[in-house]
Amino acid sequence: GSDDIIAGNVSKYIVLPDGYCGQLKKGHLIFDACFESGNLGRVDHITEFEYDLFIRPDTCNPRFRVWFNFTVENVKESQ
Protein backbone atom coordinates (compact mmCIF):
# COMPACT_ATOMS: atom_id res chain seq x y z
CA GLY A 1 0.00 0.00 0.00
CA SER A 2 0.93 3.67 0.05
CA ASP A 3 2.30 3.32 3.60
CA ASP A 4 5.02 0.91 2.46
CA ILE A 5 8.62 2.06 2.81
CA ILE A 6 10.03 3.15 -0.54
CA ALA A 7 13.61 1.94 -0.66
CA GLY A 8 14.90 2.64 -4.16
CA ASN A 9 14.36 4.83 -7.20
CA VAL A 10 12.37 4.01 -10.30
CA SER A 11 14.62 3.32 -13.28
CA LYS A 12 13.16 3.87 -16.76
CA TYR A 13 9.80 2.82 -15.33
CA ILE A 14 7.05 2.68 -17.97
CA VAL A 15 3.62 3.49 -16.54
CA LEU A 16 0.78 1.79 -18.42
CA PRO A 17 -2.97 1.88 -17.79
CA ASP A 18 -4.36 -1.08 -15.82
CA GLY A 19 -5.03 -4.03 -18.08
CA TYR A 20 -3.13 -2.58 -21.06
CA CYS A 21 -1.10 -5.11 -23.00
CA GLY A 22 0.43 -3.93 -26.20
CA GLN A 23 3.25 -1.86 -27.56
CA LEU A 24 4.38 1.35 -25.93
CA LYS A 25 2.56 4.38 -27.38
CA LYS A 26 3.32 8.08 -27.27
CA GLY A 27 1.83 9.29 -24.01
CA HIS A 28 2.74 6.18 -22.00
CA LEU A 29 5.10 7.99 -19.68
CA ILE A 30 8.55 6.74 -18.72
CA PHE A 31 9.81 7.94 -15.33
CA ASP A 32 13.44 7.75 -14.29
CA ALA A 33 15.19 8.73 -11.05
CA CYS A 34 18.14 6.36 -11.23
CA PHE A 35 20.84 9.02 -10.95
CA GLU A 36 22.60 10.95 -8.20
CA SER A 37 20.03 12.98 -6.22
CA GLY A 38 17.07 11.20 -7.87
CA ASN A 39 14.30 10.48 -5.37
CA LEU A 40 11.20 9.12 -7.10
CA GLY A 41 10.29 5.83 -5.44
CA ARG A 42 6.99 4.81 -7.04
CA VAL A 43 4.52 5.94 -9.70
CA ASP A 44 0.85 4.92 -9.93
CA HIS A 45 -1.24 5.55 -13.06
CA ILE A 46 -4.58 7.24 -12.28
CA THR A 47 -5.70 8.61 -15.69
CA GLU A 48 -3.98 9.65 -18.92
CA PHE A 49 -3.27 13.03 -17.31
CA GLU A 50 -2.95 12.08 -13.65
CA TYR A 51 -0.33 10.06 -11.79
CA ASP A 52 0.40 9.58 -8.10
CA LEU A 53 4.11 10.13 -7.45
CA PHE A 54 5.74 8.82 -4.29
CA ILE A 55 8.89 10.70 -3.35
CA ARG A 56 11.49 8.92 -1.23
CA PRO A 57 12.45 10.59 2.06
CA ASP A 58 15.73 12.46 2.33
CA THR A 59 18.66 10.12 3.07
CA CYS A 60 19.84 12.05 6.12
CA ASN A 61 16.42 12.98 7.50
CA PRO A 62 13.53 10.60 6.76
CA ARG A 63 10.94 13.16 7.95
CA PHE A 64 11.57 15.44 4.96
CA ARG A 65 10.52 15.23 1.33
CA VAL A 66 11.23 18.77 0.23
CA TRP A 67 12.71 18.30 -3.27
CA PHE A 68 11.76 16.37 -6.37
CA ASN A 69 14.33 15.10 -8.87
CA PHE A 70 13.33 12.76 -11.71
CA THR A 71 12.81 12.79 -15.47
CA VAL A 72 9.77 12.02 -17.64
CA GLU A 73 9.98 10.83 -21.25
CA ASN A 74 7.61 9.82 -24.06
CA VAL A 75 5.05 12.58 -23.50
CA LYS A 76 2.59 13.49 -26.23
CA GLU A 77 1.52 16.98 -27.19
CA SER A 78 -0.85 18.61 -24.65
CA GLN A 79 -0.37 15.82 -22.11
Q: What is the pTM of this model?
A: 0.79
First vs last C-alpha separation in the chain: 27
Which residue range is the domain that position 58 belongs to?
1-78
- Tell me the longest C-alpha to C-alpha distance in the chain: 41
Render pLDDT for 32-72 as a digit per residue (tens, 0 to 9): 998 878 889 999 999 988 999 998 887 777 787 777 889 99
Task: Describe the chain by its helix, strand, coil percentages, rounded to 5.
Answer: 0, 30, 70
Mean pLDDT of 5-14: 82
Q: What's the number of domains the chain is made of? A: 1
